[in-house]
Every structure is written in structure tokens, then in C-alpha cells.
Amino acid sequence: MKSIAILFDYFSFFLRDKTLGDEIRKLKEGKADKDVVKERVNIMLAKKKQLGTTDEKPGKFVLKTAKGTRDYGPAQSALRDSVLQDVVKTFKKYGAEKIDTPVFELRDVLMGKYGEEGGKLVYDLQDQGGELLSLRYDLTVPFARYLAMNKITNITRYQIARVYRRDQPVMSRGRYREFYQCDFDIAGQYDLMYPEAECLGIVNALLTKLEIGEFFINLNHRFILEGMFAVSGISPKDFKTICSSVDKLDKTPWAEVEEEMIKEKFLKKEQTEKLGQLVRFRELNSGLSNLELLEKMSQLPELGQNDKFKKGAEELKVLIGFLEVDGVNSVRFEPSLARGLDYYTGAIYEAVAPKALEGTAAEKSEDTAGQPVGVGSVAAGGRYDGLVNMFDAKMKVPCCGVSFGIERLFAIMEARQKNTIRTTETKVYVASAQKNLAMERRKLLKTLRDADIESEMSLKANPKLLTQFQYAEERRIPFVVLIGERELQEGIVKLRNVVSREEKDVPLDSLVATIREALAAL
Amino acid sequence: MKSIAILFDYFSFFLRDKTLGDEIRKLKEGKADKDVVKERVNIMLAKKKQLGTTDEKPGKFVLKTAKGTRDYGPAQSALRDSVLQDVVKTFKKYGAEKIDTPVFELRDVLMGKYGEEGGKLVYDLQDQGGELLSLRYDLTVPFARYLAMNKITNITRYQIARVYRRDQPVMSRGRYREFYQCDFDIAGQYDLMYPEAECLGIVNALLTKLEIGEFFINLNHRFILEGMFAVSGISPKDFKTICSSVDKLDKTPWAEVEEEMIKEKFLKKEQTEKLGQLVRFRELNSGLSNLELLEKMSQLPELGQNDKFKKGAEELKVLIGFLEVDGVNSVRFEPSLARGLDYYTGAIYEAVAPKALEGTAAEKSEDTAGQPVGVGSVAAGGRYDGLVNMFDAKMKVPCCGVSFGIERLFAIMEARQKNTIRTTETKVYVASAQKNLAMERRKLLKTLRDADIESEMSLKANPKLLTQFQYAEERRIPFVVLIGERELQEGIVKLRNVVSREEKDVPLDSLVATIREALAAL
């Protein structure tokens, strides 16, 4: 058995290797992305190494992270933590519980929703004997699996975790293969639009809190799309593909979208003309409020009689009524919003912050394709009543939720921050003015830490005074406690304000109290 | 090419299938672990399905998490978060920064340290074209890779993240294939034992804070082990294997360990006798302090002259001196501690909490093998000066750190907790006494949430009063704000203390202030 496997591998290597070699040469001649070339070369080297045909010295590592992933150093971690703190606070303000699920799932569980298309982007684990596993692609499918497996019909939960997609990474635009998702969902049988209002309330509250500048939440409904398509004479079987064209209207002019629908999706001009009047209804009727737009659409002869449209419009009117009382003013009814409709069954929504990067260094940067680095959706969601049912035919658990584009929010917050964030919470640095005071520093450090005051000292026995001061300044530690021979004899220490450089003597036995006061006054 | 691959797969299936089938029958006849049987059956079914030879209906999912993994529901998540909050606070008290690394690394990066043996436990990602990747096995290797890749020679960092090992999971003992690690490390050129004292200080501070009951930190030094082995006539090439025997002394009687070393590792009786006198030195000299033990060992004729031992003992004496000033009294010099010595180069330590589960329900539970569910080490670490160097031959970055057995700590905290932890932070539940007050509830909810008070209401239009009260009680929400027709007319609400069931009228315009006071008084 083993010898066949090796033979097979060897054969496959030569075939692949030739292809790869050619490909690499081609890539190098053209203006291919450096990362692509590097990756291809690495595949070849790895293959050669496996067969013992490489000259590479053992123990020599390629010092990089996997393609599409990155490390978060202290500054990035601190920023992300501060954003996530706001996120979690907001979720908790709305009464959410937290759950966590494994990073990989049985492959069958994940493949249920995405089928062939999404499957290509899924990272599979190698079959090492045992179950066939894949890394999670989002948090929604594991959530539905969790509900079905535990027969939970009722929960308002959030989950913040990394997900994995073998996409072409566009790192300059914040698109990675490993990235955080941040989901809030309400599962349960509730009254019409109550859960949706909670989801939109959370989006509004969080984006307001993060101060990312002006933002809008576009709102639409599956039934409204279905109604518009029906009166335009578009067949239900084309629903998904036409949705994907229509959804481009936020970035692409109508003429282009129309051309695509005619040339690639074989709609007739009369169909697209009719559809265009409807999906562009907000654009063509600027200045109208959400309710006025819905009202005016309802008065259109055909559309107004379409049952799907009527039901969708009624539901959105209820939601808009709730949001008015809730003070959620950022919502815009947008009939061209058509995203995620392979599983959304009711209202859908998406938040955009078109000016979030305005005035920042990131505003004018371009990605590798020369496109401006824009900011797409920062949150998206909707109602999906069928997902849990897919896992357990006996369970009907209506769900509705929102997923924050937390990586985009991190990028926005990073671009907009005025001061570099501190990476530690150290409040006091314990320093000594002369040599041989290491044990005295230890004692002081213990006193401070015992009082739960974040404190550090140099880990050298005899550090220079200037070095200690510099460290405190660079790290923006607010206070230095300084000890010297004189202070030691008098039972005092010097408390130095690092910014103002003011110093004062403080008796040892009131040091903790004095520092607490000084910290409170900062 | 494709047809060859399919043929090969088909051939391999028949060979494997027969083996598997036989194996499953054998397993079922014997008393094999149910999970093992299930897993084997699943492999066969998956293979059959792939070849289209299964009768299983499409769309039927196995509703489970992958072997060795689990979900964390709201109660577990809340408990873990509260423990992690203490962990992070402690790390920050010691001035640590946070970093984060990807969940998978280039396979070559991970394989550097573990070689063949550890490699078996590593989850590999399937080769889907591109790099060869594996899930991280611990946080230390990615940390060293991060330092080498970014040429960082100086950082005190923590990282809390999940790691992956294809071990035989023993779920009843808290051993999973996916689990959190929680590491604190100091990288940099510092003075002797300063970093070690910080690490032990953190262990002492955190275990004290968590109130897990009595704990000890066993302390030893690589050089002390090397010295003891040398004077016992044990060859350096046997260092690792004899270490693994000696390290069992915390759970296994000396006679058994000695037998293993003689029968399986071919030591002579005179060697083991000599070694036994040394590694059991604490046991044979009970009542002596750490310094007294080191002193007494130093006076042994041969050992006292051994350079390795002398250096190790000198270093530990310095450390013990620091810890005395730091008030870290839980440290015990334990010459039989011999763990992790494939990469530790200096001091090593390990914290144990033998009575942590005493008096809890978990105390007497047994694992599947009938062994008592004990609590092993809750933290372990040491000095490893060579790891970064493996990734970059030009870099010398001395490191020293500690990894908390955070899953064990979670289990201990779960077993010891007196009251179930709350899973939300909701402070107020907004309820209505009559029908048709849905909009009034919304308005109240908005007022409270705008004031950053965590609040909920029923997501039904006309919920029953009793149902609302019950929800608040079950969820241990401290207050209910109740509105009815009368209250509405008078511009007041009823504020109900859920525990005492006391109610009082509060004017609407002082509601927020009243609730804040009431919350502060809880």
C-alpha cells in the first residue's frame, strides 16, 4: 500500500511540478503579485523537499505568517481590545448572552448551507484518521448547529470569534483569510419586527458610540424584492442572480448593471426598464421619507397589488414605526439592497459609513488593483427563519441577527485615532537613583502591586536613572516612584509626574493613598 | 490526471474499508470506548458516501461538535470571562502587553520544535494548493516566530488563545483537543532571576486572587538535574528519558519509578540508588526550608563539587531571595521536578493545587479509566533561551515565561462556585401591566439604554404580567420598571425590586437617577 502511495505522489509531483515551474516563469515575466510568485515557489520547494530533491539546509525556516493572516502586535491588540470592549458593552446593554463554539466543525455541518460555491473557500483539515473537519466560515452556521443540537428555541446571544475563508486576500483593504466576526442574533418566536428593531438598535448604538462619523443603515425586505421582480416579469429561478446584479447599484451606475442583466443574465430591455424604475425608487424620488417612499411604491398600479410586496411593505412600516420611537434615525429604506438572499427570509439591512475614512491618511490609499481603499459595509444582517430547520426538520426557530464588519471597524478606528493607544496599563514605574537599591525597589513594587496598582520596575540590578525615566516617558506611564539613599533614610520616596516632571516627597506609609488620589485626578 | 486520482482513491478505499470494517467489529466485540467505535464508523460512512455507496439521505446532519471539542453556552462563557478578567488584570498589573497570532502557521514553523513525536498530535490543514499549514499546538512557538520575524528582542507579553492537539481526549478530566492557553512571557536580556521572579509573582498573585485554595509552586533548575544525573553516573544522552521517569515522582512511588528506570531504561541499581537520594531530597529531609535544602545538598561531597549543580543552586538561591522580599511564599524547591526539559534551559517551575476540588462535587468523580479526577498542574513554565535562536541564528533572545492551565482553572472555578453565575448584565426589565402599552415600553427602554443602563423588555406585543415577572426572576435581573394605564396618566412608573418584591412609585423624570442609586446600593 505504502509503495503505491509513494509512487503516486511521485508521479503527481512531476506533473504538477512542470505546471508549477511554467506558471512561476510566466508569473515572473509578467507583473504578477509578488505574494503569488512567492507562494508558488514555496509549493514547489515544499514538494521538492518532501521528495528529498532540495538543497535547502534543514532547520531553515521561512519566517512568515500563513498567507492572508497576520500577527497583532501590542498596539493593534490594544486598539482591538478597546473597540471590542465597546462592542461587548453594547451587546450587554441589549441583554445578550455570550456563547462560543469550536473553530472547526464536521465538514457536513458546514457544507449544508454553502453547497458547492462556498465550499471552495472553506479550509479543510487533513484527513488524519477520524472525522472530516473544516474551519468555520462564519458564526451563523455554527450558531444554528448549536441551537439544533441543544434543542434551544430561545436565546439572544453574541459571539466574537475568528472565521476562515480561502479567499484571495486583499490585505491593503483589510480583507484577510483569518478575520474576526462579531455577531448578535435573536432566536425565538416573537412578535413582528420586535427582534429586527433590537438588531437595528444595536447597530445604531454601536456605530454612534464608536464615533465613526456619518453612517446609514440601508433596509429592505426579501418580499419587496420578490414583488418588484415579479411585476418586472423576472422568473423566481433568476432571483439569486438578479439580486447579485441589483446589489451592485451602491457602487455601479445603473447603465452598467442593466447591461450586465441583459448581456449576462439574458433579461429583456423591457424587464430591466421596469425593474430599474423600482429598485432605483429611492434615487428617483429623493427627499421622501422612508414611509413616504413605501407609500408611493404601494400606489404603483401593479406593484401595489402584489401580495409579496404588500406583505414586505407592511412589515417594514411596522419596523420603521418602532425605530422612530427608539430614536434610530439612521435607517433608509433602500429597495436596491439585495444581499445574502440565499438564506434571508424577511427584512435585510446593511450599515455603511461612506465618510468614515475622510480626512485620515487611509482615505486616498489604493489597493493593489489601483482601486481606492473605500469602506464597504460595517454591519449587515436580516431575518433567517429557515436555517435551524435545515439541521433539525422538527425545529422551527425563527432567527434574526446582525454581523458587524469588525475588521473594517478596527481599520476605521485605527485610521481615525488621534493618539497612539497605550499598550500597557502601567500606572507607576519604580525607579532608583543610585546603585544597590534593587531590593528596595522590589519592596516598593510589592507595596504597589499588593494595592492593585499596575506597576513595573527595571529588570536590571543597577539601571541608569535616565534610562528609567526614558522608559516611563516612552511608555507613557504617568508616575515614577523614585527612591535614593536620602529618601530611604528619611522614610520617604519621590513621586514624579512623568508629563509635568514635577516631583514631590511622599512618606512611604501614605504612598498608596497619594498615588490613588493622583491617578484619580489625571 | 484526475482519473488516476480517482482510481487511486477507489483502490485505497477498498483496502482501508476492509481494515476498518474488521476493526469496528473487533471494537464492538471488545469493550472499546464508544467514541472510538463511533469515530471509526463515521470514517467508513464518510468514505462510502464519497463513493456514492451509502443509503444515507442527503441533508441529514450528524448533530455534534468535532471530537474533543465543545460549545460553551452562556453559563460557561460567563464563568470563563470572569476568570479571564482576573487573569488579564493580573497580567496588566505586571506591565504586560498583549499580542495575538494566527490560529495556523506554516507547517515548517511548528515542526521545528516538536520534531516527529509532537508532530503526530498536530492538526494539519489539507493541501488545497498553496502553503502547507497546521493548527498551532501551543503559544510559545508562535511567540518565538513572532519575535524572530519582527526582530523583537525585548517584550513582556501575554497571549490568551486556543490551541489544538490531536490527543486522545479525556473530556471528563477537562482534556480536550481544542483548549485555551494563557501565556505570560518575558523576552529580553535582563539581570539574573529578575524575569523568573516576575513570572512566579504572577502565578502567586493570580492563584491567590482566584481563591482556589492551598497551592504550591514547585521549583527546580535544569543544571541541578544535570548535576544530580552526572554524579549518579547517568549519561547526558539519557537526560530526557530519565527526566520523564523522575518527573513521575509526584504521583508514583519511588519503587515503581526506580523499577522503570532499571527495566525500561537500563540504569544500574547503584545509579538509581544514588539518584533516588538526590531527587527525593525534599521528601527525605522534610521540614527544611528551600535555602536549607539547597545548602544541605551543596554540602554533599560529590554533588557540592559539580559545576552544573553549583551554578543551578546559586541561581535558585538568588531567586528565592527575591521571592522572599516579594512575599511569594508558595514556592518549594523540588529536585524531582523535571518537566519540559527538551527546551527549558534554566529554572523551571510548576504550580499545583492538590486540594482545589476538595469538598466540591467534582472531588470524587472518576474518569473513564476509573482514575480519580485529580487536578494536575495549574501553571508551568521556565527559562528557554534557545527557542528564538532556532528561527534566526543571529538572534539571541533569552526568554522566560509561564503558561497557565487555564482550562483546569476554569474547571476548578466552576466546581467551587457557590452561586450560578449570571449570564447577562441586564439591570432593568421593562414590563407593562396591561395590553397595548408596547410603545410605552419602547420609550422607557430607550430612556434607560440611552443612560447606559443594561435593559430588556419582552419582545411580544402583549406579554402577560406574570410571565414578565418570572423572566426577571429567573434571569436574576435586579429591577423591574412597571408601567400601566394609571402610571401613564400620573407620569410615574413602578420600580420593583425583584428579590424583595418591594415596589415604589417613581416620577418618570427621575427614573434614571433613582435606578442608578438603587443599583449602587445593591
Q: What is the DSSP string of A128-155?
A: -SS--EEE-S-SHHHHHHHHHHHT---E
Number of other CB atoms surrounding residue A381 within 10 Å: 28
Cell for B253? 512511588
Q: Would you place residue A460 in the very low, low, confident or very high pLDDT band (cuts 50, 70, 90)?
A: very high
For residue B364, the model assigns a pLDDT of 61
Does B185 appear as a known binding residue? yes
CATH number for the A72-215+353-422 domain, one of 1.10.10.60, 3.30.930.10, 3.40.50.620, 3.40.50.2300?
A: 3.30.930.10
Closest-CA distance of chain A to residue B375, Å:
24
User: Which residues of chain B lie closer than 8 angstroms to A5, CB-CB?
Assistant: 12
Q: Which among A135, A147, A132, A150 has a CA at the least distance from the CA of A102?
A: A135
User: Which residues of chain B lie closer than 8 angstroms to A205, CB-CB?
Assistant: 449
HEC readout, B330-356: CEEECCCCCCCCCCCCCEEEEEECCCC
Q: Please state, in angstroms and rounded to a whole number, the distance separating the CA atoms of residues B305 and B418.
A: 54
CATH number for the B216-348 domain, one of 3.30.930.10, 3.10.150.10, 3.40.50.150, 3.40.640.10?
A: 3.30.930.10
Closest alpha carbon within chain B to A204: B450
Radius of gyration of chain A, Cα coordinates, nearest whole angstrom: 30
Does B101 appear as a known binding residue? no
Cell for A388? 435551524
Q: Which of A39, A77, A390 sits opposite B131 (nearest CB)?
A: A39
User: Which residues of chain A lie closer than 8 angstroms to B460, CB-CB?
Assistant: 190-191, 194
Q: Which of A1, A63, A65 sits opposite B102 (nearest CB)?
A: A65
Residue-by-residue DSSP string for A485-519: HHHHHHTEEEEEETTT--EEEEEGGGHHHHHHHHH
Q: Would you place residue A173 in the very low, low, confident or very high pLDDT band (cuts 50, 70, 90)?
A: low
User: Which residues of chain B lie closer than 8 angstroms to A125, CB-CB?
Assistant: 123-126, 135
Does residue A114 register a pLDDT over 90?
A: no
In eight-state DSSP terms, residue A75 is H
In eight-state DSSP terms, residue B175 is B
For residue A341, the model assigns a pLDDT of 84
**For residue A309, with 0-12 CB atoms within 10 Å meaning exposed, 13-18 middle and 19 or more buried, which class applies?**
buried
- Kindly give, in sequence order, each residue whose CB lies less than 8 Å from that of residue B322, ignoring residues fewer than 6 positions away: A442, B193, B194, B197
Q: Which among A89, A318, A316, A338 has a CA at the least distance from the CA of A208?
A: A89
Closest-CA distance of chain A to residue B329, Å:
13
Q: Which of B63, B92, B188 sits opposite A424 (nearest CB)?
A: B92
CATH of domain A2-50: 1.10.287
Mutation target vs A (from B37, B76, B126; most A CBs, 10 A cutoff) = B126
Q: Which among A439, A434, A455 has a CA at the least distance from the CA of A511?
A: A455
Does A344 appear as a known binding residue? yes
Burial A58-79 (b: 16+ CB within 10 A, else e): eeebeebbbbbbbbbbbbbbbb
Main-chain dihedrals φ then ψ at residue A506, nearest 5 degrees: -130, 130
Q: Would you place residue A343 in the very low, low, confident or very high pLDDT band (cuts 50, 70, 90)?
A: confident
Sign of the Cα torsion B421, B423, B424, B428 reads: negative
**For residue A14, with 0-12 CB atoms within 10 Å meaning exposed, 13-18 middle and 19 or more buried, which class applies?**
exposed
Long-range residue pairs from B361-369, CB within 8 A, at least 24 positions apart, any chain: B361/B415, B362/B411, B362/B415, B363/B415, B365/B172, B366/B172, B367/B170, B367/B172, B367/B173, B368/B33, B368/B170, B368/B172
Closest alpha carbon within chain A to B81: A98
Closest-CA distance of chain A to residue B165, Å:
12
Which residue matches cell numbers 448572552? A97
For residue A35, the model assigns a pLDDT of 53
* Percentage of residues in chain A having pLDDT higher than 70: 83
Q: Which of A104, A164, A326 sits opposite B446 (nearest CB)?
A: A326
User: Which residues of chain B lie closer than 8 angstroms to A93, CB-CB?
Assistant: 449, 452-455
Strand-strand pairing, B155-164 and B97-98: parallel
Q: Which of A63, A93, A442 sits opposite B148 (nearest CB)?
A: A63
Q: Which of A126, A132, A326 sits opposite B124 (nearest CB)?
A: A126
- B124 - beta bridge partners? B134
Cell for B269? 541499581
Question: Which residues of B80-177 form beta strands (DSSP E)?
Answer: 97-98, 104-106, 133-135, 155-164
Q: Please state, in angstroms and rounded to a whole number, the distance separating the CA atoms of residues B49 and B56.
A: 8
Number of other CB atoms surrounding residue A425 within 10 Å: 16
Does A158 appear as a known binding residue? no
Closest alpha carbon within chain B to A146: B71
- Kindly give, in sequence order, each residue whose CB lies less than 8 Å from that of residue B443, ignoring residues fewer than 6 positions away: A325
Element containing residue A370 per DSSP (H, E):
none
In eight-state DSSP terms, residue B123 is P
The structural architecture, per CATH, of the domain B72-213+353-422 is 2-Layer Sandwich (3.30)
Closest alpha carbon within chain A to B327: A446
Q: Kindly provide the ipTM of the predicted complex, given to two decimals.
A: 0.85
Please indicate whether, in this complex, the C-beta atoms of A325 and B46 are within 8 angstroms of each other. Answer: no
- Do B216-348 and B72-213+353-422 fall under one CATH topology? yes
For residue B465, the model assigns a pLDDT of 95
Q: Please state, in angstroms and rounded to a whole number, the distance separating the CA atoms of residues B162 and B182.
A: 9
Q: Please state, in angstroms and rounded to a whole number, the distance separating the CA atoms of residues A232 and A239.
A: 12
User: Which residues of chain A lie closer than 8 angstroms to B74, CB-CB?
Assistant: 97-99, 155, 157
**For residue A221, with 0-12 CB atoms within 10 Å meaning exposed, 13-18 middle and 19 or more buried, which class applies?**
buried
User: Which residues of chain A lie closer than 8 angstroms to B452, CB-CB?
Assistant: 89, 93
Cell for A363? 482615505
Q: Please state, in angstroms and rounded to a whole number, the distance separating the CA atoms of residues A116 and A445.
A: 60
Q: Would you place residue A65 in the very low, low, confident or very high pLDDT band (cuts 50, 70, 90)?
A: very high
Please indicate whether, in this complex, the C-beta atoms of A93 and B455 are within 8 angstroms of each other. Answer: yes
In eight-state DSSP terms, residue A160 is E
What are the structural domain ranges in chain A? 2-50, 72-215+353-422, 227-330, 428-520
In eight-state DSSP terms, residue B66 is P
pLDDT tens figures, A25-49:
444 444 445 554 455 555 545 544 4
Residue length of chain A: 522
Number of other CB atoms surrounding residue B396 within 10 Å: 12
For residue B341, the model assigns a pLDDT of 83
Q: Nearest 5 degrees, angle CA A144-CA A148-CA A149?
A: 115
Closest-CA distance of chain B to residue A307, Å:
24
pLDDT tens figures, A74-112:
999 999 999 999 999 999 999 999 999 999 999 988 886
HEC readout, B384-416: CCCHHHHHCCCCCCCEEEEEECHHHHHHHHHHH
For residue B52, the model assigns a pLDDT of 39
For residues A138 and A357, the model is more confident at A138
Q: Which among A480, A430, A487, A499 has a CA at the least distance from the CA of A460?
A: A430
Closest-CA distance of chain A to residue B16, Å:
10
Q: Please state, in angstroms and rounded to a whole number, the distance separating the CA atoms of residues B299 and B282.
A: 15
Element containing residue A402 per DSSP (H, E):
strand A399-404
- CATH fold, domain B428-520, is Rossmann fold (3.40.50)
For residue B61, the model assigns a pLDDT of 57
**For residue A244, with 0-12 CB atoms within 10 Å meaning exposed, 13-18 middle and 19 or more buried, which class applies?**
middle
Does A140 appear as a known binding residue? yes
Q: Would you place residue A366 in the very low, low, confident or very high pLDDT band (cuts 50, 70, 90)?
A: low
Q: Which of A15, A98, A390 sits opposite B78 (nearest CB)?
A: A98
For residue B485, the model assigns a pLDDT of 92
Q: How many CB pairs under 8 A join A and B?
A: 280
Does residue A268 register a pLDDT over 60?
A: yes
Closest-CA distance of chain B to residue A383, Å:
15
What mean pLDDT comes out for the span A359-367?
66
Q: Please state, in angstroms and rounded to a whole number, the distance separating the CA atoms of residues B150 and B162.
A: 23
Per-residue pLDDT of chain B (522 residues; tens, 9 = 90+): 333 333 333 333 333 334 444 444 444 444 445 554 455 555 545 544 444 333 444 445 578 999 999 999 999 999 999 999 999 999 999 999 999 999 999 998 888 655 445 577 899 999 988 899 999 999 999 999 999 999 999 999 999 999 999 987 766 566 789 999 999 999 999 999 999 999 999 999 999 999 998 999 999 999 999 999 999 999 999 999 999 999 999 889 999 999 999 999 999 999 999 999 999 999 999 999 999 999 999 999 999 999 999 999 999 999 999 999 999 999 999 999 998 888 899 999 999 998 888 777 776 665 444 545 566 789 999 999 999 998 999 999 999 999 999 999 998 998 888 888 899 999 999 999 988 899 999 999 999 999 999 999 999 999 999 999 999 999 999 999 999 999 999 999 999 999 999 999 999 999 999 999 999 998
Q: Helix %, strand %, coil % for chain A, to 5?
A: 50, 15, 35
Number of other CB atoms surrounding residue B285 within 10 Å: 12
Mutation target vs A (from B8, B79, B100, B460; most A CBs, 10 A cutoff) = B100
Mutation target vs A (from B23, B36, B89, B97; most A CBs, 10 A cutoff) = B97
For residue A364, the model assigns a pLDDT of 62
Please indicate whether, in this complex, the C-beta atoms of B149 and A62 are within 8 angstroms of each other. Answer: no
Q: Which of B71, B106, B201 sits opposite A100 (nearest CB)?
A: B71
Q: Please state, in angstroms and rounded to a whole number, the distance separating the CA atoms of residues A31 and A25.
A: 11
Q: Say if residues A357 and A363 touch (Cβ distance below 8 Å).
A: yes
Residue B517, CB-side half-sphere exposure with 13 Å CA sphere:
7
